[in-house]
Amino acid sequence: MSLLKDKVAIITGAARGIGEAMALKFAEQGANIAFTYVSDSSKEKAEALTEKLKAMGVQAKAWQSNAAEFDQAESFIAEVVDSFGKVDICINNAGISKDNLLLRLTPDQWHAVIETNLNSVYNITKHVIRPMMKAKSGSIINMSSVVGIAGNAGQSGYSASKAGIIGFTKSIAQELGSRNIRCNVIAPGFIETDMTSYLKDNPAGDAYLKSIPLGRFGKAEEVANTALFLGSDLSSFITGQVINTCGGMLM
């Protein structure tokens, strides 16, 4: 099956975790992959992923680019269009968490989370819609979280950033529908990645497990499967929606 043959997909923050799983899943389905990583320490991983993707028979290129910086987002998108000729799918995946009760949440922590998680989505999307509008086609997938819907003690900043992504996405879905650009959100629950590794062998992690009807944390590949659905024509009549990929934690 080749659901994404010759499509071009952008994925931010894809050197590891859910982004990496989405890059591999999309390449498996024939998509060419343009992805970003931000820190010098991710360079080796990004290079290894690029080689792995190329070995799967697709084009792949990594950019060191901070999605939270407007100018870097602008030049990244321009360079992708130069290199690949178009953008069919854009996944705003880059994200961080800085958890703290509001009493202790510092302005630096608040701003870092809002800039990385929410401003990045504006920065990238603002520039990627131009080539998509020209092509009269596109699928934008924004990574939120179940806590962007339900909230979570100790995650006011993170939840605010993820709730903002949902409002943003529903608004642009209305703006861009007539151009055949679909915009949707994935709201994962707890997924086993570096971001949640602190929950292993931790009483907080055990408590979260009890709140998941399927009785386990999710795998990055399971989120990638949701992205594949939203990125491909399988979801051609779906826009402005939030798909909770959370084992039933939020219903």
Q: What is the DSSP string of 182-233?
A: EEEEEEE-SBSSGGGGGGTT-HHHHHHHHT-TTSS-B-HHHHHHHHHHHHSG
Binds ligand NAI by CB under 6 A, chosen from 60, 183, 191, 243: 191
Nearest to ligand NAI of 39, 75 (CB atom)? 39
- CA proximity to 183, closest of 224, 113, 126: 126
User: Is residue 226 part of the contact set for ligand NAI (CB under 6 A)?
Assistant: no
Task: Output the smallest distance, CB 137 to ligand NAI, in A.
Answer: 25
| Residue bearing tokens 């999307």 | 125
Q: Taking phi first (over 0 means left), then psi (-120 to 50 degrees means alpha), and beta for anything else, what does residue 96 get?
A: beta
Nearest to ligand NAI of 17, 138 (CB atom)? 17
The 60-64 sheet, strands edge to edge:
60-64, 32-37, 8-11, 89-92, 138-143, 181-188, 242-245
User: Is residue 15 part of the contact set for ligand NAI (CB under 6 A)?
Assistant: yes
Distance of alpha carbon 207 from alpha carbon 198, whole angstroms: 13
Contact code string over 49-68 relative to ligand NAI, x by CB under 6 A: -----------------xxx
DSSP character at residue 75: H
Strand partners, 10: 34, 90
Task: Output the smallest distance, CB 56 to ligand NAI, in A.
Answer: 20
User: Is residue 155 part of the contact set for ligand NAI (CB under 6 A)?
Assistant: no
Residue in 37, 158, 198, 208 annotated catalytic: 158
Nearest to ligand NAI of 131, 247 (CB atom)? 247
User: Is residue 193 part of the contact set for ligand NAI (CB under 6 A)?
Assistant: yes
Distance of alpha carbon 71 from alpha carbon 123, whole angstroms: 8
Strand partners, 155: 100
User: Is residue 195 part of the contact set for ligand NAI (CB under 6 A)?
Assistant: yes
89-92 and 242-245: which strand pairing?
unpaired
Binds ligand NAI by CB under 6 A, chosen from 10, 17, 118, 132: 17
From the list 1-9, 53-61, 127-135, 194-202, the region that binds ligand NAI by CB under 6 A is 194-202
Catalytic (active site) residue 37: no
67 is written with which tokens? 């999605």
Task: Output the smallest distance, CB 24 to ligand NAI, in A.
Answer: 13
Task: Output the smallest distance, CB 108 to ligand NAI, in A.
Answer: 15
Contact code string over 20-39 relative to ligand NAI, x by CB under 6 A: ----------------xxxx
The answer to whether 110 and 62 have CB atoms below 8 angstroms apart is no
* Residues of span 81-140 touching ligand NAI by CB under 6 A: 93-96, 116, 120
Applying CB under 6 A, which residues contact ligand NAI? 12-13, 15-19, 36-39, 42, 66-68, 93-96, 116, 120, 143, 145, 188, 190-191, 193-196
Instruction: Please give the positions annotated as active site.
Output: 158
